[in-house]
Amino acid sequence: MKIKLYLDEDVDVSLAQALNQKGFDVLTTQEAGKKRLSDVEQLEFAVKGKRVILTHNKRDFTLLHKNYMLDGKEHYGIILSDQRPIGEMLCGLSKLIFSLTAEQMKNRREFLSNWL
């Protein structure tokens, strides 16, 4: 099964547009009406939708990942990235999505910089 993405509200929506044009399944917090939710609530929403969350909030989501693992909870993946040009992010995400399945991303934390 292919990875479905959920973009945190700090990720530029033009990245979602570019990913959609490439045929990827992408949902933004803006489209979902989930702006201003806490990080915990954003991850819970992503889990309910079986989506991998992409965020620039590396510190908080690293901690959330750790807590999920300690508590025996599952998520569908977390991709952490510095803010980069859209083209760079698109390239890295394309490589990641074509290399890993949704099952392989389950409970995984990935740094987008490893795919650039």
Q: What is the pLDDT of residue 57?
A: 97
| In the chain, domain spans | 4-115
Helices (H) and strands (E) in the chain, counts: 6, 5
DSSP string for 53-108: EEES-HHHHHHHHHHHHHTT---S-EEE-----HHHHHHHHHHHHHH--HHHHTT-
pLDDT of residue 62: 98
Q: How confident is the model at residue 1 (pLDDT cuts 50, 70, 90)?
A: confident
- Check residue 97 and give its pLDDT: 96
Say which CATH topology domain 4-115 has: Rossmann fold (3.40.50)
E strand intervals along 24-92: 25-28, 52-55, 78-80
pLDDT surpassing 90 at residue 52 = yes
Predicted structure pTM score: 0.97
